[in-house]
Amino acid sequence: MKTRITEMLGIEYPIVQGGMQNVGYAELASAVSNAGALGIITGLTQPTPEDLDKEIRRCKEMTDKPFGVNLTLLPTIKPVPYEEYVRVIIEAGIKVVETAGRSPEPFMAQFNENGVSVIHKCTSVRHALKAQKLGCSAVSVDGFECAGHPGEDDVPNLVLLPAAAKVLDIPMIASGGIGTGTQMAACLALGAEGINMGTRFMATKEAPIHENIKKAIVEASELDTALVYRPLRNTARVYKNKVAEKVNEIEREAGKDMKFELIRDMVAGTRGKVSLTEGDVDYGIWTSGIVQGLIHSIPSCDELVQEIMSECTETIRNRLNNLLAG
């Protein structure tokens, strides 16, 4: 399958693995890239720029195919040396960067000067247009269905994708709530030139997370996610476990007086990392999208990519084409 995304990224299939905190390690990124899609190392999962450099080198030992790095730009309690992470990415020869959170504008000149294609994740049409104006090579348009931060507009992909496609000149990747080939076909029909999957790649053999987490995703329905931080206007979609339910309870009780300090210890990133690595599903907050209701297996990344592509092409060639027959 050829689209502007496959041509730009040098990949066989227009499928991108989303950058996920404490999940996007070299093991997963290399497996996705070896399957013909684009694997992504999560930059800030690595505690220092030097650690990111080592992780990139490790990934290069596991694949000779293109892979990218995610760099999420967010305000943090402890300042992040973003300039150093950018330097490492460029010096390592990475040619694809997925940015998210705040605008990548401060680093666009450096990326463009060094031939790095920037794909910015956007949760609205206005943000996608801003990314295009800044010189991003593509945008990853993230619908309300997604895991992690869906923005505050609450627009799902059935509306968001065609709305963005109508006004964009650069290619668009559909992101959020996608995990099947039929969904991929639908996204292409709505104007996307590729798809981004996060939660679906968590439930694969190569994903470097505990089997308990993978099984929890497989066993969950589309109703088993929770939206936290809504009163703080920093909404995040997470797996609905005991911690998420307690956070929602505190948010309801606090009402207009809700402050982050009331839940800070419960939602600490270190607790979420323990859940992912040690398999205690209820120990901390961890992200998962409503697509978990469509996930019923734990294949290898290669098996998953082939299944997605087969189902997508079958949907386009047969199911949709047959509607026009006669």
Q: 326: pLDDT confidence band, cut at 50, 70 and 90?
A: low
pLDDT in tens, 162-204: 999 999 999 999 999 999 999 999 999 999 999 999 999 999 9
The full set of domains in the chain, from first to last, is 4-210+298-322 (3.20.20.70), 211-290 (no CATH)
Bridge partner list, 142? 175
Please give the model's pTM, rounded to 2 decimal places: 0.96
Look at residue 78 in the predicted model and tell me its pLDDT.
77
pLDDT, tens digit, for every residue of 17-41? 999 999 999 999 999 999 999 999 9
pLDDT tens per residue, range 113-134:
999 999 999 999 999 999 999 9
In angstroms, the CA 200 to CA 176 distance is: 10
Tokens of 172: 């668009």
Cα–Cα distances (Å) from 112 to 39, 71, 275, in that order, read 21, 15, 38
What residues contact 316, with CB distance under 8 A and at least 6 apart? 185, 188
